[in-house]
Structure 1
Amino acid sequence: MRRFARTLTTVALVAAVITGTAGWASGDAQEAVTGAPAGTEAWRAAGLPDPERTSPAEIARFFAGLGPVRQRELARTHPTVVGNLDGVPPALRYEANGRAAQGRFAGAEVLALDPRGRGQVALVYGDLARAERVAVIVPGSDTDTGHVQKLADMAQSLRRATGGRTAVVAWAGYTTPVGVGLDAATGRLAEAGADRLTRFVDGLAAVRPAGAAEPSVFCHSYGSVVCGLAAHGLKAKDLVVFGSPGMRAGNVAELGTTARVWAAKDPTDWIDRIPNVELAGLGHGADPTDPAFGARRIPAEDAAGHGGYFAAGTSSLRTFAAIAEGDVR
């Protein structure tokens, strides 16, 4: 009887997650892109450091020991590796990715451009090599190289709100769910994304200017699931989630992070209709804006909908900017 009741609860949860919000569409199952960058076989054959066995800090030291001519030669002969290898100097990655990008991402430097699957990209607004403050924005579902504008708009809005002082990275560096189906209701893609996010932020640390702060990481919707799973290994000073379905943790302590954890949810966000449970691998757990979770609450009463947190003039954007700038304690 108990097993039957559990089965009924699971079925109800699946139905609630997939169809509980008006306008949701069933998503197609995605295969997560993981592992070393495209072109790694030729890179390894040339006797160069194995991208899967070499840490970003070790990659940074390897490139620091090369002269400018050799660095640029590697960028020309192995562009898909150099352009996506965490720990490589940003300017060299921009150069390696420039030809493949073909001007598709106007106004941004392209720090990563992985053509596999639906495509992954990391766009930089500001001078990453010199900025004392860096913010990374991690998006939710339906984000890839062909659907990156909303994420880019968030990044540019945050940079403007900091007066241009903070370098902002729009990181679409993992395979996101498409639509809202089982991929969005489970942590499978988020687990793969968490590993990629952790290595990416390690790469930022490896090339960070002396005296620069650890980044603030802003995580939207399903991106907050990625950030929750990455939190214990993420080198960040702040972890900010908004429009979150949960972080796969019952409270801040369970995240295992030393970062300050912040949470925002506006009263018109449809994410509030999603059950904050986790059962049989479905759902993402507690609401990070619940006082019992222990996150610092960000005002968001004047934001609108699921994507309005970076709108000009909103309390959420002002607070995001203050966090990125290190102006709040």
Structure 2
Amino acid sequence: MTSAGSGRLSVPVRIEGDAGTMSWWGMQLTRVADRLDDLHTAAVLAKNLPGAGVRVTSARGDAEALLDALTADISEATLLGMVLQEYADAYERYAQPANALIDDIEVAHGEWAQSSAAADDAATLALSTVGSEWDGLAALTQNNATEAAQTRDLAWQRLSSLIAEHGEYFAQWSSAYDAALAALASAGSAGMTPEARAVFERLIGTTDPAHVRALWNEHPEMHPELIAAHPDLLGNLDGIPYDVRSTLNRGRLDAMLATEPDGDRREELEAIRRALETEGSPPPSLISFDPDGSEQVTAAIAHGDLATASEINTLVPGMNGNVGDMHAWGESARALNRAAGDGTATVVWFGYDTPNLLEEPGMGRAQDGAAALGSYLRGLSALSPAADINVIAHSYGSTTAALAIGSSSDGLGVTSLIAVGSAGFPNDDAVIANLTDGDPPRVYATVSEDDAVARIGRGTAIGHSVSPERLTDVTVFDSDGGVDSDGRPLPAATGHGALGAGAYLEPGSESFYNVAEIVRTGEPGTERDGEGSERGFWDEGNWWISDEYAFVDL
């Protein structure tokens, strides 16, 4: 976190976890290893049974086969138990104190912001009295300005000290986390050469996609061995080239569909395959695929060539979105590529567990999703450093995207954040400051006059009630019907939907036209309240809009 006068604010990250639960599982795995060791001892005795005959010989053979399997299982259970316990201890030593500091940091930041504003006001007043006929007034205001500046500086020192302390704890936790990942990787890498295992542990031990990319490019001779050993991890590791990831993920998808029984998950897997079978050049690519890592199947499909694109868009869904919708989102992605022009690629990113109606008021899904989206966006920047990166987020997706991008001091390399029918940005001063400080990303927003869902979502939110359309330096564009540059009518968004007739991202609508123009030129294509604009249910001229219920006046 830095002074508002010197740059963006970095938001401290709360580290999720439960040391008690991790310790309990560590003990259970240790017990499993002990019992397997007892079985191993019994198998040794059986292998050495005296006597002759078919049954004795068969028993010896079975015991030998069991011993071969048990050796690896005992080793893995022992390692897992040890890693979990060591990580639980590290979490308790470093993560819990770091988390405890966040509340103090937020209070200290509020005190600093308040004292900074007071110091600015005192300085302005002191300047206004310079040359006053009453010397005593000038001296008094100057003295007040000095005291206010001292109070501000003391507040900044306390805030800086707390942030530095949090950073130390966080760095120690991060090192422990990386060590745990490396240890777990070694458990699944027994068949790899020591050289390849060392590279793999470095790949998964870093949280920087640029470092992953550099390591991958430095060791082309290791690629076949690494891919053979861990296709699931490499297919989702940000920083690995997208053509490699797509090949690995498509292979995993096809293999799963060959054996997956009927049910909800098979339907989701088939939906992903249908979205990939759309004709195009290049064909859609499955750049991430995780059927087991969270409650929902998550995936991301790229339409267009990410390696050569100068404009890369990412579509982020909101409440109740799932991979079953990927084909429809893909149609919108390809239409956006055509509308924005050559050199455009668009990713449909279903990389997080979207909330249901009961979860939507909270920030839990956004916090988890922001971590995944942030890593993905850093991977884009690492692999396509020259491209403009645009995030187009619908409903709760804009809550997630705003948290991810606004929590980073560099905006994750994003050029523009476009929020359509936003469920509200996070109620976090540092996040909002990062998004509206005049540096990239540039933020754009629209909400239809007929979108009650977005307004109700903000009004009932616990943690994301900020209306982006009201923020300073946010470019607001229309979605209520207008005309394009040739005077042709553009339909309005008539509700909250992302796709389909009357939706924000329906090709041909005013909202979609403006999104495409923002990607293409940096500015919306229609005039605010211009020709063709329609008055809607929530138009601010209606009698039910008042200051008392300002959350619906957008």
TM-score normalised by L of structure 2:
0.48
Q: 1:140 aligns with which of 301, 309, 318?
A: 318
Q: 2:116 corresponds to which residue?
A: none
Q: 2:377 corresponds to which residue?
A: 201
Write the distance in 2 (CA, Å) between the matches of 1:325 and 1:42: 48
Q: What amino acid sits opposite 2:405 in the alignment? A: A
Q: 1:288 corresponds to which residue?
A: 468
Would you say 1:149 and 2:362 are equivalent positions?
Answer: no
Q: Is the 8 A contact 1:75 1:92 kept in 2?
A: no
Q: 1:267 aligns with which of 449, 463, 480?
A: 449
Q: What amino acid sits opposite 1:264 in the alignment? A: T
Would you say 1:59 and 2:241 are equivalent positions?
Answer: no
Q: What amino acid sits opposite 2:505 in the alignment? A: F
User: Aligned-pair distance for 1:207?
Assistant: 0.9
Q: What amino acid sits opposite 1:189 in the alignment? A: R
C-alpha deviations, 1:63-112, integer Å up to 9, x for none?
11122x53244233311111100000111111111112334432320000
Q: 2:296 aligns with which of 118, 139, 152?
A: 118
CA change 1:253–1:145 in 2 (3 A) is closer
Q: Is the 8 A contact 2:361 2:457 kept in 1?
A: no
Write the distance in 1 (CA, Å) between the matches of 2:505 and 2:448: 12
CA change 1:284–1:170 in 2 (3 A) is same
C-alpha deviations, 1:282-313, integer Å up to 9, x for none?
151121123x5541011211223222112222
For the residue of structure 2 that corresponds to 1:274, the secondary structure is helix
Q: 1:97 aligns with which of 249, 257, 262?
A: 249
Q: What amino acid sits opposite 1:86 in the alignment? A: D
Q: Is the 8 A contact 2:394 2:421 kept in 1?
A: yes
Would you say 1:303 and 2:483 are equivalent positions?
Answer: no
Q: Is the 8 A contact 2:361 2:460 kept in 1?
A: no
Comparing 219-228 with 267-276, greater Cα deviation is found at 267-276
CA change 1:41–1:317 in 2 (3 A) is farther
Write the distance in 2 (CA, Å) between the matches of 1:327 and 1:273: 27
User: Aligned-pair distance for 1:328?
Assistant: 2.9
User: Aligned-pair distance for 1:314?
Assistant: 1.7
For the residue of structure 1 that corresponds to 2:417, the secondary structure is strand
User: Aligned-pair distance for 1:59?
Assistant: 0.3
RMSD of equivalent CA atoms: 2.6
Q: Is the 8 A contact 2:360 2:457 kept in 1?
A: no
Would you say 1:71 and 2:223 are equivalent positions?
Answer: yes
User: Aligned-pair distance for 1:202?
Assistant: 0.5
Q: Is the 8 A contact 1:309 1:316 kept in 2?
A: yes
TM-score normalised by L of structure 1:
0.78
C-alpha deviations, 1:198-254, integer Å up to 9, x for none?
111100111115xx2330111111101101211232220101101111011478982
Q: What amino acid sits opposite 2:495 in the alignment? A: G
Comparing 292-301 with 131-140, greater Cα deviation is found at 292-301
Q: Is the 8 A contact 2:422 2:468 kept in 1?
A: yes
- How does 1:160-199 map onto structure 2 within 5 Å? 160-178=338-356, 180-181=357-358, 183-199=359-375
Would you say 1:315 and 2:468 are equivalent positions?
Answer: no
CA change 1:255–1:123 in 2 (3 A) is farther
Q: Is the 8 A contact 1:134 1:167 kept in 2?
A: yes
User: Aligned-pair distance for 1:50?
Assistant: 4.9
Write the distance in 1 (CA, Å) between the matches of 2:427 and 2:442: 15
Q: Is the 8 A contact 1:248 1:278 kept in 2?
A: no
- Report the structure number with the largest CA radius of gyration: 2
Write the distance in 1 (CA, Å) between the matches of 2:478 and 2:232: 41
CA change 1:294–1:42 in 2 (3 A) is same
Q: 2:520 corresponds to which residue?
A: 325
Write the distance in 2 (CA, Å) between the matches of 1:325 and 1:40: 43
Q: 2:87 corresponds to which residue?
A: none
Write the distance in 2 (CA, Å) between the matches of 1:251 and 1:262: 18
- Unaligned runs of 5+ residues in structure 2 are 1-177, 191-196, 255-272, 279-283, 481-491, 525-554
Q: 1:83 aligns with which of 217, 221, 235?
A: 235
Q: Is the 8 A contact 1:244 1:288 kept in 2?
A: yes
For the residue of structure 1 that corresponds to 2:388, the secondary structure is coil
User: Aligned-pair distance for 1:41?
Assistant: 6.1
CA change 1:218–1:316 in 2 (3 A) is same
CA change 1:44–1:241 in 2 (3 A) is farther
- How does 1:24-35 map onto structure 2 within 5 Å? none
Q: Paired residues, what number?
A: 285
Write the distance in 1 (CA, Å) between the matches of 2:232 and 2:338: 31
Write the distance in 1 (CA, Å) between the matches of 2:388 and 2:324: 30
- Unaligned runs of 5+ residues in structure 1 are 1-34
For the residue of structure 2 that corresponds to 1:71, the secondary structure is helix
